[in-house]
Structure 1
Amino acid sequence: MIFGEDVPAVDAADVPQDAYLLDVREQDEWDAGHAPQAVHIPMGELSDRAAEVPRDRDVYVICRSGMRSAQVTIALNNAGWLAKNVDGGMKRWVEVGRPIRAEGDGPAYVA
């Protein structure tokens, strides 16, 4: 990860089952496949919807590969949240066997 040690990160396999998982991908990516427990707030909407993100618990931020979520993690931490990047994003999530689901009838995949 090019953000280095400035970004607190965890492997997808280590995200707790009851974690607040914030998916910052675009709508089409979310629709294709997302973690069942994730909350969807696209990166571009986060400044307007930040009040929806809890401040009283860790926030695990995920995107496709970990780049956008690293940027969001930095921004959230700078604004007072306790955020961690899910290193490797949804690609890693699927790689370690974590479940995903799609919106609609098609098979789930990482877009």
Structure 2
Amino acid sequence: MSEKNPRFLTNATVIKVLAKVFAFQAIEINLLRSQAGISDANWKTLKTEAFKKTYAKQRAFYEDRLNGAFALEHISQSERETRLLELWLKQSEESSKDEQ
């Protein structure tokens, strides 16, 4: 019996696959946008507002949650920002796993 070696994906392979996925998503978004009659300027404004809202919600959630923890420790503002970003990224990864 021949032994099967485990398949490993290189970083380059993963990047190529993600690039294809994002390219198809961009095409779908552009088709939907053109169907809805949304101009480039309006799309950029909508996208910027959505990112700002999402970031503000996530930041508020984690700041409220961690206020007590930060009050107990003497932590610099940059350290707080780093911890908030790490938590936000972790939560984003977990939510993307839940969607699959």
TM-score by length of 1: 0.23
Q: Which has the higher strand share?
A: 1
Answer 1 or 2: higher relative contact order, Cα 8 Å, separation at least 6: 1
